Amino acid sequence: MQHSSKIHNVRYELRGPILQAAKKMEAEGQRILKMNLGDTAPFGLQAPESIVKDMIHHIRGAQGYSDSKGIPSARTAISQYYQTRGLMQIGVDDIFVGNGVSELISMTLQAFLENDDEVLIPAPDYPLWTASVTLSGGKPVHYLCDEDNQWWPDMADVEAKITDRTRAIVIINPNNPTGAVYPRHILEQFARLARKHSLVLFSDEIYEKILYGDVEHIHTASIAKDICCLTFSGLSKAYRMPGYRAGWVALTGPRAATAAYRETLELLASLRLCANVPSQHAIQTSLGGHQSIDELIRPGGRLREQRDLAHRLLNEIPGVSCTRADGALYLFPKLDRKLYPFSSDEKFVLDLLEEQKILVSHGTAFNWPDPDHFRFVILPSTTDIEEAVRRIAAFLAVRRHAAGTAGVEGTPADADAAADTLADSRV
């Protein structure tokens, strides 16, 4: 069978050939240290027991389809949650529940984009955004986030990339893969640009509750009340239940301006009948009452400790620099290309996997333009983080030495070849 030409520029390398290579190695009996996927379950981070119990309690009553926008108790809970956070404009009708944020990203973009419409997306991004814009016929245009300024978006670059075909800006806050959390003045600038150029804001806030230290998460919609804005969140991360697939989007902005789009979203929501009903029952219980994520992120909490340790150890490796993550579950360290002239970051990740049995994700998979970053997940235990960083450091020590052997005149390919020879001779 032929595949659709619509797939041509669609990439999701996080689950691509490198992961396949790792699976093959595992099938052969090798143990891989996985520092690549943002799934909480393999690392022993369990969903709160009260939520699981509540889902089990509702399971018999959840056999039928639900309202295509979601069950009323879940949508009421979501609307009340936002209202307690100052977003008084979000009513039950403004909420669509979906099978995770992922489904809603593609649904909301499909409902919105004409062919060749441009959408501004951060670089680096969570690559589903780029893929979904492409699949919806749109054109992703990446704006740079600035590593030297806490990975906040470079607002001059955002503005410079707006054209008369630009329709929307995607904001991922807290950000995957950088862990950046945006301050008010950055969000205000996004709102100003959206106002000036009549753009819609797509704000992915799935990590809104995973914050370290004193940073505050600000909802884009709370700043941009007069602008058409979509706010995405869900249970996958803070409530540690990515497999249950529960997420939502809230549509805000002037009622008249959003009316036609709202109808289209309702149509697309109906076409897929409804989101998984048992997990919709987890939403109300999750959003109310005790928030167990707080224990994991405060000083001494597991996620906080893991972030601190990974950040410190990675920065101790010569030629590796890593900005601290203020939120989310990732670090996005940079490799000094003079010390480590890999021909590609995929080669770096594959060699690391083969030689040291550790799996990280290469930076260009997140639409970062240069092959000089990788993503390191902070979900594994401190013991695994220590071991993983030790292996990365050992791997890079060989590469440093090899780059020296290839000489400053050598090409990245020469350095790769020298490193391969050196690594082979040590096996």
Ligand X SMILES: Cc1ncc(COP(=O)(O)O)c(C=O)c1O
Shortest separation between residue 105's beta carbon and ligand X, angstroms:
7
- Length of the chain measured in residues: 427
Encoded one letter per residue, x for contact with ligand X by CB under 6 A and - for no contact, window 98-137 reads: --xxx-----------------------x-----------
CA 240 – CA 45 distance, rounded (Å) = 7
Binding mask 139-168 for ligand X (x = CB under 6 A): ------------------------------
Smallest distance, Å, CB 287 to ligand X? 15
Nearest-approach distance from CB 164 to ligand X, in angstroms: 28
CB of 175 vs ligand X, minimal distance in Å = 7
Cis peptide before 124 (omega within 30 of 0): yes
Q: Is 48 in the site for ligand X (CB under 6 A)?
A: no
Query: Could you say whether residue 236 binds ligand X (CB under 6 A)?
Result: yes
Do the beta carbons of residue 417 and residue 351 sit within 8 Å? no
The CA radius of gyration of the chain, in Å to the nearest whole number, is: 22
- How far apart are the C-alpha atoms of 10 and 119, rounded to whole Å? 15
Q: Which residue is nearest to ligand X (CB)?
A: 100
Selected from 124, 140, 179, 247, the binder of ligand X by CB under 6 A is 247
Q: Quick one: 332 or 340, whose CB is closer to ligand X?
A: 332
CA geometry: angle 143, 146, 151, nearest 5 deg: 105
Residues 6+ apart with CB under 8 A from 368: 123, 124, 332
Q: Which two tokens stand for residue 325?
A: 């993550």
Stretch of 81-89, 94-102, 212-220, 393-401 lying at the interface with ligand X (CB under 6 A): 94-102
* Residue 242 in the binding site for ligand X (CB under 6 A): yes
Q: What are phi and psi of 425, to 5 degrees?
A: -65, -20
For ligand X, the closer of residues 96 and 126 by Cβ is 126
Q: What residues numbered 305-334 form the site for ligand X, per CB under 6 A?
A: none
**Residue 204 binding ligand X, by CB under 6 A:** yes
* CB-CB contact of 396 with 349 (8 Å): no
- Tokens representing 267 are 């149509």
Three-state secondary-structure class, residue 343: coil
User: Which positions touch ligand X (CB under 6 A)?
Assistant: 38, 100-102, 126, 172, 176, 204, 206, 234, 236, 242, 247
